[in-house]
Amino acid sequence: MPDNSADSKRIAKNTIILYFRMLFLMLVSLYTSRVILDALGVEDYGIYNVVGGFVSMFALISAALTSACSRFLNFELGKGNVQRQNVVFSTAVTIQWGLAILVAILSEAIGVWYVNNVMVLPSERLSAANWCFQFSVFNFCMNLITVPYNASIIAHEKMKAFAYIGLFQGLAQLGISFLVYWEPFDRLVFYALLLMLLQFFIRLMYQIYCRRHFQECRYRFVLDTPLMKHMFSYSLWHLIGNGASVLKNHGVNLVLNLFFGPAVNAARGVANQVGHAISQFVGNFMMAMNPQITQSYARGDYSYMHKLINKGARFSFYLLLFLSLPVIINADFIMHLWLKQVPQHAVAFSQLTLAGMMITALSKPLMTAQNATGNVRNYQIVVGGIELLNLPLSYLALFIGMPPTSVVVVSIAVNVLSLGARLYMLPFTLAGFRRMVFFKDVILTCLKVAIIAAAMPIVVYQILPEDIWGFLTSVTVCLLFSSVAISGVGCSQSERTFILTRVKATAKKIFHQ
């Protein structure tokens, strides 16, 4: 049996490195949102969210190939074939450049018409919205052609580099939020322009790092027809699932705009900012774990892979619960403390968004495992088909007069159905994976942890005064009961010992440097 202790230690080390990064970035991101909302105002902030969201709709074209890029790079790394790694990398770069050109053409053909003729915008802000759209298109295309470089860094598990570049990006965005007050011309246009320039610079940083450190990241034009066919075949079925995800996030944003205008888009934008900041902690955990899941499959080490799936799902949920519970319970106080202007519905949007993310966290390792097998056709048809229900059901809810927050309730219900479908389908392609083990060890355990963690904080919140001392007491109680529930009910003795040992070792290393 292979010794996976080194892999486990690397996952723990990379996770802790990424958490230090994300703790800083979360604070910077939340403060930046406060400054930007104040600088732009609710209306312009909503315009930026809905216009940028429309550009992101084109992600349904690219997200599938993005998944393919990560999967194939990790698979070849697991086999240790450097020459094939270069072929996969070069093919991915060629494809992403082609997609970037296609997205630019489609954006100009469809997007400009939609912004000017369909989107609900104040007439005096139409010109600014068009400039914002153009800069957002450029941003999106830069993100596309950066994907193979990001995937290479993550596949090699060089999380320090990923962390340092992320820290620079966070600080730059903070600087941009203050520069917007300078207002050499229109604030919304100036903000979009600065973000575009930053994205271009970040792309160069990723490219330079990869070329210097990874042998396979030397682009050369390669026409590997079988590989390209395999990647496109893999991507074609991912188009359903990734398209559903894009429509759920950005398509629903457009529906909200049609019914309620940019003010509600601003509220959802604030909620998404909160959700994004917290979800990055779980994203970083899975970012450290995903390469090991795919590479263990490539090596044929299925027993270790199964353990990673179950542990990844549980600990993803625990991390979200630990961070989200104080925010969900104290959302109203936090919003008014954080923002100078709190958009209507922002509190309810934030609470529901965080609740839905906990369900999604359970699905992430299942998704990675399914992708690792390469057998995604039936999976994407079923799960993608379920997730495609988000947009029509959200439209129906708003059409019959439901409040704006009903779109998040719809999303939560669809997430539950999708989790069930993923759990049902994975054993058909992954030998030895047992549904009931996942259900008992992950879902039931997480449910017990959530109930124990939330019960007392909810009671305490009801009797506390709504002031700073009440807030601090509530947060303390949330963190305390979450910690007790996670360590006492959610972890085995070996897991508690391992986590404590790795945290101490990493902290000692950091403070001695």
The predicted pLDDT at position 1 comes to: 43
What are the angstrom distances between the C-alpha of 368 and each of 67, 287, 294, 363?
A: 10, 10, 7, 9
For 9, the enclosing helix (H) or strand (E) is helix 5-56
CA 510 to chain CA mean position, Å: 27
483, two tokens: 């910690």
What pLDDT was estimated at residue 502?
Answer: 58
Give 10-residue mean pLDDT values along the chain (513 residues). 52 58 65 71 72 59 62 70 78 80 81 77 80 82 79 72 76 80 76 84 85 80 75 65 66 80 77 73 66 78 85 86 88 82 83 88 85 77 84 90 90 91 87 87 92 91 86 90 87 72 58 49
| Entry field: residues in the chain | 513
The CA-atom distances, in angstroms, between 94 and each of 153, 348, 389 are 18, 43, 33
pLDDT of residue 510: 46
pLDDT for 513 equals: 46
The closest alpha carbon to 106, from 68, 143, 59, 145, belongs to 59
**pLDDT for res 56:** 58
- Please tell me the predicted confidence (pLDDT) of residue 393: 92
pLDDT at 20: 63
- Rounded to two decimals, the pTM is 0.65
For residue 509, the SS3 value is helix
How high is the pLDDT of residue 201?
87
What is the per-residue pLDDT for 278? 72
